[in-house]
Structure 1
Amino acid sequence: MTAELHTLTGAYAVDAVPEEEAAAFKRHLRGCPACRQEVRELREAAARLGAALATPPPPRLREATLAEVARTRQWPPLVAVARRGGPAKTRIALWGAAAAAVGALVFSLVTTSTDPGADPAQQQLASVNAVLTAPDASTVKEGAERGTTTVVTSRSEGKIVVLAGDLPPLAPGKAYQVWLIGASGVHSAGLLAPDGPHRTRPVLVDLPGGIDRVGITAEPAGGSPAPTVPAVVMVDLV
Structure 2
Amino acid sequence: MTAELHTLTGAYAVDAVPEEEAAAFQRHLRGCPACGQEVRELRETAARLGASLTTVPPPRLREATLTRVAQTRQWPPLVAAVRRTQSTKKPPVRIALWGAAAAAVGALVFGLATTSTEPGAGPAQRQLASVNSVLTAPDASTVKGAEPGTTTVVTSRSQGKVVILAGDLPPLAPGKEYQVWLIGASGVHSAGLLASDGPHRTRPVLAELPGGIDRVGITAEPAGGSRTPSTPAVAMIPLA
Judge same fold: TM > 0.5, yes or no: yes
Deviation at 1:182, TM superposition (A): 1.4
Aligned length, in residue pairs = 202
Q: Give 5+ residue unaligned stretches, structure 2.
A: 81-110
Q: Does 1:46 align with 2:49?
A: yes
Q: Which residue of 1 aligns with 2:12?
A: 12
Partner in structure 2 of residue 175 of structure 1: 177
Residue number in structure 1 paired with 2:23: 23
Question: In 2, are the aligned partners of 1:14 and 1:129 still within 8 Å (CA)?
Answer: no
Does the aligned pair in 2 maintain the 1:10–1:39 contact within 8 Å? yes
Q: Would you tell me which structure has more helix in proportion to its own residues?
A: 1
Match of 1:115 in 2: 116
Q: 3-state DSSP class of the match of 2:23?
A: helix
| Equivalent residue letter for 1:225 | R
Deviation at 1:190, TM superposition (A): 0.7
Does the CA contact (< 8 Å) of 2:115 and 2:129 recur in 1?
A: no
Which residue matches 1:194? 196
For normalisation by structure 2, the TM-score amounts to: 0.68
Q: In structure 2, what is the equivalent of residue 166 of structure 1?
A: 168
Aligned to 2:127: 124
- Structure 2: which amino acid aligns with 1:208? P
Give unmatched runs, 5+ long, in structure 1. Answer: 79-109
Aligned-CA RMSD value: 3.4
Aligned to 2:155: 153
Would you say 1:143 and 2:121 are equivalent positions? no
Larger radius of gyration: 1
Aligned residue number for residue 92 of structure 1: none
- Give per-residue Cα distances to partners, 1:73-103, cap 9 Å, x unaligned: 7668x9xxxxxxxxxxxxxxxxxxxxxxxxx
For 1:2 and 1:141, the matched residues in 2 are separated by: 24
SS at 1:123 equivalent: helix
User: How much identity, in percent, do the aligned residues show?
Assistant: 64
Aligned mates of 1:111, 1:208 — CA distance in 2? 36
CA contact (8 A) 1:7 1:139 kept: no
Relative contact order higher in (CA < 8 Å, ≥ 6 apart): 2
Contact 2:116 2:129 in 1 (8 A): no
Q: State the Cα distance separating 1:63 from its structure 2 match.
A: 6.8
